[in-house]
Amino acid sequence: MSDKPMRRLNTFFESHAKEHLRQQQRDRGIRMPLIFLMSLQHASLPKKVVTPEDVRHVSILKATGLIEAEIAPALDGSGKYKNARNAIVMRITKDGIAEINRMRTQESQSKPARRL
């Protein structure tokens, strides 16, 4: 064993950095499907989605009631789990539109005022 005492407490910077990283991970998990939702507002619907990440976003947005979509069931005929390979987004719901408006409001409030 070393003669150096064990450091038990994190420095302020270390604890702040760890909290910032945890917050980014939480935000990314929530924010990415919402960014996808905003992109759907400018897409021609119905829209076929084929990339695995976007299919996951569709699944989350459908489960939360922000969009209406057709997505393959997560279980195959034998009862085994499988990832859906595609989905079709039919429309953004009223709740989805409200969420987009809420995000825009938050975004505009968080930006500093422009100076002329």
Chain segment 46-87, per-residue pLDDT in tens: 999 999 889 989 998 999 999 999 987 766 667 677 778 899
Which whole number is the average pLDDT over 18-39?
A: 68
114 is a domain residue:
no
Domain extent for 61: 15-109
- The per-residue pLDDT for 79 is 67
Angstrom distance (rounded) from CA 63 to CA 74: 13
CATH number at residue 83: 1.10.10
Residue 27 has pLDDT above 60, yes or no: no
Angstrom distance (rounded) from CA 34 to CA 42: 14
24 is a domain residue:
yes
Helix (H, G, I), strand (E, B) or coil at 64: coil
Chain segment 82-106, per-residue pLDDT in tens: 778 899 999 999 999 999 999 888 8
Token representation of residue 1 = 């064993």
100 is a domain residue:
yes
91 is a domain residue:
yes
What's the total number of domains in the chain? 1
1 is a domain residue:
no
